[in-house]
Amino acid sequence: MNLDQMQSMWQAHSEKLDECMSLNKTLLQKIQSEGHKSELNKLILARSLEGFLFLIIVAGLWHYVVSSWSLTAPVVSALVLNVFATLGLAGSIGQVVLLSKIDFSQPVRETLSDLIAVRAHGMTIFKLLLLSAPFYMAYVFLGYELVAGIDLFSLMPAETKVIFAIISAVFGVLVTLLINQLKPENRSNKLIGWLYREVSGSRLTHLLDQFDNMEKA
Amino acid sequence: MSVERHQLYLDILEKHKGIVFKVARSYCSNEFDREDLVQEILAQIWRSLDTYNDAFKVTTWMYRVALNVAISFYRKDKSAAYKHTEIEDRLLTYDMVQESENEQNLSALYAFINELNDIDKAVLLMYLEGENQAEIAANLNITISNVSTKISRIKQKLKLKTA
């Protein structure tokens, strides 16, 4: 069989399909009424909830900063963590906007790009968490203040502060190196490929593979 | 939901439901995933109805929606989990008796399509529907020479398969 014979067979098949097929309108109606269960709508709901969570964190941190305003380690920590939470909030809002704009009647390349941006969200949040890793002591200082009312930083000996600063600097270098490598084109690397699969899931890997297939001439 | 919108939806599906069936059968070899894909395509056609206008051939518009859903559809392969289960209600029912004389050839044809990657499947489906290379390129937003290369590669694969 060659492609022309295949085409003739396909066209005969297409003509017959209309006679052979029937549409279950009752089930169709049910699906329409359950439209909220479609994949995209579920994602919009998930990102909205995530955004709401970030909003609560941002509002809570601002409340703490304003009510305890002074140049202490817990307040500075709250300000630092607020920057990350605000970035997370902006990311969630951006996702909801993008998701509600996805148009499946666009050419395949455009739709794939939009869907990759949506499915890469897990990786973006992971990068944001990684970026906050060098500031890990901010979580500790704020936690101690909120739970036990102790300003841990003021009680620390100078040598301990230097050790934590060195650990943060090492984290900073490692995180910068890793984030620099966390690109889809580096998925052939075992660690990066594994992170993409584990963090963003197989759906993103599938979309990226299709995008690569599209580019291949 | 407006009555006109719903009627337009039903009219389009009634006339062109074959496209949904062909795309779903080409992209999913197992029937459980196929049924999920049909549902997802029909849901997206409903959602995308506002983007439909007379500038498009309705078949081109429907192919774009169906192919975009199929290419991005994540196949969970439920065949093992549901191997003793029958699908009770199908959205598209296909009367195999009327097509039985062709079914063997058609199964071979779909089996060949199933072996291709998702983008090559899209190229082949549009080619089989009689779209020219410029139209295929526009629907994918790739160059015409890329489409031409992909078609040549599909021809080679077909030759090897039938040799």
**3-class secondary structure per residue, chain B:** CCHHHHHHHHHHHHHHHHHHHHHHHHHCCCHHHHHHHHHHHHHHHHHHHHHCCCCCCHHHHHHHHHHHHHHHCCCCCCCCCCCCCCCCCCCEEECHHHHHHHHHHHHHHHHHHHHCCHHHHHHHHHHHCCCCHHHHHHHHCCCHHHHHHHHHHHHHHHHHHHC
- pLDDT surpassing 70 at residue A37: no
Helices (H), A1-105: 3-20, 25-33, 39-67, 73-101
- Residue B53 and residue A93 in contact, taking contact as beta carbons nearer than 8 Å: no
pLDDT, one tens digit per residue, over A95-123 is: 999 998 889 999 999 999 999 999 899 89
From CA B67, how far away is CA A173, in angstroms rounded? 43
What pairs with residue A21 in β-bridges? B94
- Residue B91 and residue B39 in contact, taking contact as beta carbons nearer than 8 Å: yes
- pLDDT surpassing 80 at residue A159: yes
The B residues from 98 to 137 touching A (CB cutoff 8 Å) are 98-99, 102, 105-106, 108-109, 117-120, 122, 127-130
From CA B122, how far away is CA B140, in angstroms rounded? 9
Vertex B24: Cα angle to B23 and B27 (nearest 5): 85
Of B43, B52, B138, nearest to A35 by CB-CB distance is B43
Q: Could you tell me if B32 lies within 8 Å of chain A, comparing CB atoms?
A: no
Mean pLDDT, chain A, rounded, equals 90
Q: Which residues of A touch B93 (CB under 8 A)?
A: 21-22, 24
**CB neighbour list of residue A83: distance below 8 Å, 6 or more residues apart:** none
For chain A, what percent of residues have pLDDT higher than 90?
Answer: 59
ipTM, interface predicted TM-score of the complex: 0.86
- pLDDT surpassing 90 at residue B163: no
Question: Domain residue spans in chain A?
Answer: 33-216
In the predicted model, what is the mean pLDDT of residues B121-139? 95
pLDDT of residue A89: 95
Of B68, B117, B158, nearest to A213 by CB-CB distance is B117
Ordered by where they begin, the domains of chain B are: 3-92 (1.10.1740.10), 96-162 (1.10.10.10)
- pLDDT surpassing 60 at residue B97: no
Phi, psi of A138 (to 5 degrees): -60, -40
**CB neighbour list of residue A156: distance below 8 Å, 6 or more residues apart:** A164
pLDDT of residue A30: 78
pLDDT of residue A36: 56
- Residue A10 and residue B112 in contact, taking contact as beta carbons nearer than 8 Å: no
Token pair for A150 = 């102790």
pTM comes to 0.83
pLDDT of residue B135: 94
pLDDT of residue A31: 74
Q: Which residues of A touch B17 (CB under 8 A)?
A: 17-18, 21, 23
- pLDDT surpassing 80 at residue A182: yes
pLDDT, one tens digit per residue, over A56-67 is: 999 999 999 999
Least confident of A28-32, A161-165, B84-88, B150-154: B84-88
Alpha carbons within 13 A on the beta-carbon side of A175: 17
pLDDT of residue A41: 84
- pLDDT surpassing 90 at residue B4: no
Sign of torsion, CA B18 B20 B23 B28?
negative
Amino acid at A174: L
Confidence tier at B88 by pLDDT (50, 70, 90): low
Confidence tier at B83 by pLDDT (50, 70, 90): low
pLDDT of residue B154: 94
Residue (of B107, B24, B31, B35) closest to B67 by Cα position: B24
